[in-house]
């Protein structure tokens, strides 16, 4: 019984190219009580491996968080399989705006303590007492209300390339950092303002809305299905699109374009750009924004040092990485000191009213 991948990413990419089949990129989540995550994990892996599903899926006692791709011809079988699982029956599937057959190259189903690293002790509040879910039309109405405070629950490197007009964009590296920061800055408005939140697909807002209700916020709302679902609704229903720029996604595509606006800049030269890349130096692998001109000039590297490293023989590069672990720059997500045009550190309220 095969419960893990036995193909390299290169081998998988070759198979995908040879098959020539369209693949759909999908994400979904569901909070539910799973008694034995390991057994559930194995069941999902076996079923999805048969359908050539690829992706990154987290399973925990509290539920499932999935980002994956599936051959279009297998979509209905995949959906039918989900419907056989009680808590996943008719689960909302966020289907990507832009598809890439190579978005995922392995099927990874992992058991985690939580499906999102929120740093919260769920025993201290009612996680089912969530905020009100709203669709794209209602969301548009809410964010035009002067009594609304609109908060982006994503990280700085996500909102840097795209966000809703007039949204507060917390300058944080992780979701868990934003929770207390937002509460502190909005503590005087727990009763008189409408707190409206959004994220990529909805999962971060799901827990955050319950947390903020527990903390005393009276009017809490969240965008149903996040930015992904919003973009589809706007197009299908002919609504005004209030999102500017690109939606950051956590697969090989790295983003989906929602509007033609380019609101970010190349971290190396300062020219308008909104394409994230990872430094070609495997010992660095820093995620940063790089324009095409700098990409060519710098050989897809974040610094001249890394540019020199990638020109060394592979074995020498490998020896340099041995025992070093990952560079701390990786987790700065574009904030490395040597990037002259990295996003500035700002108080979260400085962006409100200036991003539109």
In degrees rounded to 5, what are phi and psi of residue 234? Answer: -60, -45
DSSP letters for 16-78 = HHHHT--EEEEEEEEE---S-HHHHHHHHHHHHHHTT-EEEEEEETTEEEEEEEEEGGGHHHH
DSSP letters for 118-187 = ----GGGS-TT---EEE-HHHHHHHHTSTTEEEEE-S-HHHHTTEEETT-B----SSHHHHHHHHHHHTG
Report CA-CA distances (Å) from 82 to 47, 54, 251. 10, 15, 22
User: Residues 199, 291, 294, 302: which is the catalytic one?
Assistant: 199
Strand order in the sheet with 107-111: 94-95, 23-31, 63-71, 54-60, 107-111
Q: Which residues pair with 111 in a beta bridge?
A: 59
Structure tokens at 255: 């983003």
How far is it, in rounded angstroms, from Cα 78 to Cα 269? 45
How far is it, in rounded angstroms, from Cα 114 to Cα 60? 5
Strand (E) or helix (H) holding 321: helix 314-321
How far is it, in rounded angstroms, from Cα 175 to Cα 311? 37
Cβ-Cβ contacts under 8 Å for 85 (sequence gap 6 or more): none
284 is catalytic: no
CA dihedral 281, 286, 292, 295 (to 10 degrees): -20
Cα-only R_g, the chain: 21
How far is it, in rounded angstroms, from Cα 289 to Cα 245? 14
Contact criterion met (CB below 8 Å) for 111 and 65 = no
Report CA-CA distances (Å) from 302 to 35, 244, 274, 285. 45, 26, 15, 9
Q: Which residues are catalytic?
A: 199
């Amino acid at each position: 019984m095969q419960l893990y991948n036995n193909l390299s990413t290169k081998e998988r990419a070759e198979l995908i190219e040879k098959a020539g089949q369209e693949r759909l990129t999908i994400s979904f989540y569901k909070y539910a009580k799973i008694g034995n995550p390991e057994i559930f994990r194995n069941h999902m892996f076996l079923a999805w491996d048969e359908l050539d599903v690829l992706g990154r899926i987290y399973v925990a006692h509290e539920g499932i968080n999935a980002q994956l791709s599936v051959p279009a011809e297998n979509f209905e079988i995949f959906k039918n399989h989900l419907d056989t699982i009680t808590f996943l029956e008719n689960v909302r599937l966020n289907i990507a705006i832009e598809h890439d057959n190579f978005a995922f190259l392995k099927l990874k189903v992992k058991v985690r303590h939580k499906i999102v690293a929120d740093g919260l002790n769920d025993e201290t509040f009612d996680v089912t007492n969530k905020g009100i879910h709203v669709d794209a039309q209602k969301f548009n109405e809410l964010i035009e209300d002067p009594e609304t405070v609109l908060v982006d629950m994503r990280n700085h490197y996500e909102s840097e390339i795209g966000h809703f007009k007039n949204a507060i964009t917390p300058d944080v590296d992780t979701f868990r950092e934003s929770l207390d920061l937002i509460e502190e800055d909005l503590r005087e408005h727990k009763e008189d303002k409408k707190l409206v939140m959004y994220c990529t697909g909805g999962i971060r807002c799901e827990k955050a809305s319950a947390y903020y209700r527990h903390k005393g916020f009276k009017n809490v709302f969240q965008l149903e299905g996040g930015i992904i679902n919003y973009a589809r609704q706007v197009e299908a229903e002919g609504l005004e699109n209030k999102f500017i720029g690109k939606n950051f996604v956590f697969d090989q595509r790295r983003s989906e374009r929602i509007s033609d606006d380019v609101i970010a800049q190349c971290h190396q030269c300062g020219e308008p750009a909104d394409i994230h890349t990872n430094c070609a130096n495997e010992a660095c692998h820093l995620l940063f924004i790089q324009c095409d001109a700098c990409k060519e000039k710098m050989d897809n590297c974040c610094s001249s040092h890394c540019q020199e490293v990638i020109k060394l023989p592979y074995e020498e590069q490998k020896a340099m990485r041995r025992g070093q672990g990952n560079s701390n720059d990786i987790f700065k997500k574009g904030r490395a000191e040597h990037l002259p045009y990295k996003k500035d550190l700002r108080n979260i309220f400085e962006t409100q009213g200036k991003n539109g």
